[in-house]
Structure 1
Amino acid sequence: MHSPIRQRGVTLIELVVSIVILSVATAGIMMVMTQTTLSSADPMIREQATAIAQSYMEEILTQPLLNPGGGEVNGPEVGEIRSTYDDVWDYNGLTNNAGALDQNGNAVPNLQGYNIAVLVSSATIGTGAGSPAVRIIVTVTYDGLAGINVPVTAYRLN
């Protein structure tokens, strides 16, 4: 009598099916890795925008609240440039659309795509009459990514 021979291994159909399943799984993993790699610059750009906004805010907050020479206006006095700003209100309406600039107007290397806007407005802190103050908002956006919009807000009391 013949004893049946047991076949070991896999058939060609089973091999092809397993290769197709592995290929689909690998393609899915590669798509996730590609998407992660493409968006990995976002956190760095957002962190840089935050640092720029905080740097501008620090510069503004070191200035006196009111014009030392008197005759306050809600913006820079005639002929004033950023390096000669002498009070917080001088920064009202400041915009830098060519990238981050230092206080003397020099471009900061590798920060060309950032846009900075400053808004200074009157505010009252506390209830009732409260204390007169100003609210300063520094907003930084980035040309390359629409979702990057970093506002930093501070209040300055006299």
Structure 2
Amino acid sequence: MSTRAFQVGISLIELVIFIVIVSVGVAGILSVMNVTVLHSADPIIQKQAVSIAESLLEEIELQPITWCDPNDDNATTATSAAGCAAMPEGMGPEAAFGVNQLHAESRYQDINGGDSPFDNVNDYNGFSMVGIRGIDANATVLPGLGAYSANVAITAAGAAFGLAADDALRIDVRVTGPGNTDITLTGYRFRYAPNAAG
């Protein structure tokens, strides 16, 4: 009667196959982690761009929308550009009167009184900045925001709501940042009494 010895352990071939399988698995996991680490800053950049756009859009939407410049004597009572004492404001009237508010007013107020700050929604039309700056007298680029830029476009949008063209303004704020970051936020500002078209 012969006795047969049973093998205990693993063979060299089994060990090599095990090492190959584990190596492929580890390589796959590391490649996924590499992609994750490379793009881990993207949400921060995206979130920062959205915050900048929201802040600028809110700043614009809080401005008045009147037929006349808010410094005009008839700003609260005029129901058309013709009702302004001297300073018409708005999408159409400014062009008709040859007034370009972007040269007369600025988002940044000079501490010596050299510039008047924007005081109406329409003043922001065409506004752009490279490097996000505060609205203080120095208009310095805020830390960490030098790679971002913002552009504002304001268009008459009343027809979309069944109103006169200048009775509603569409505000588009576009912010671009590092990489392929490109955010556009849109808001609307409506003309209301006592300055509604009459």
TM more than 0.5: yes
Alpha-carbon distance in structure 2 between the residues aligned to 1:50 and 1:88 = 20
2:171 maps to 1:154: no
Paired residues of 1:76 and 1:92 also in contact (CA < 8 A): no
Shift in Å, 1:106: 2.1
State the percentage of identical aligned residues. Answer: 39
114, 123, 134: which one pairs with 1:102? 134
Structure 2 unaligned regions, length at least 5:
73-86, 109-116, 192-198
Paired residues of 2:107 and 2:135 also in contact (CA < 8 A): yes
Q: TM-score, normalised by structure 2?
A: 0.72
Shift in Å, 1:130: 7.9
Q: Partner of 1:118: helix, strand, or coil?
A: strand
116, 124, 140: which one pairs with 2:150? 116
2:101 maps to 1:76: yes
Q: TM-score, normalised by structure 1?
A: 0.89
Shift in Å, 1:122: 0.7
- Aligned partner of 1:39: which letter? H
Alpha-carbon distance in structure 1 between the residues aligned to 2:126 and 2:103 = 14
2:169 maps to 1:134: yes
- Aligned partner of 1:88: which letter? V
Structure 1 unaligned regions, length at least 5:
none
Q: CA RMSD in A?
A: 1.8
Alpha-carbon distance in structure 1 between the residues aligned to 2:103 and 2:40 = 44
1:74-101 per-residue CA deviation (whole Å, 9 max, x = no partner) reads 753433221211111111111112x211
Q: Quote the residue 1:19 is aligned against.
A: 19
Alpha-carbon distance in structure 2 between the residues aligned to 1:88 and 1:27 = 56
Shift in Å, 1:59: 1.1
Alpha-carbon distance in structure 2 between the residues aligned to 1:80 and 1:117 = 17
CA pair 53-126 structure 1, distance change in 2 beyond 3 A: same
Alpha-carbon distance in structure 2 between the residues aligned to 1:131 and 1:87 = 14
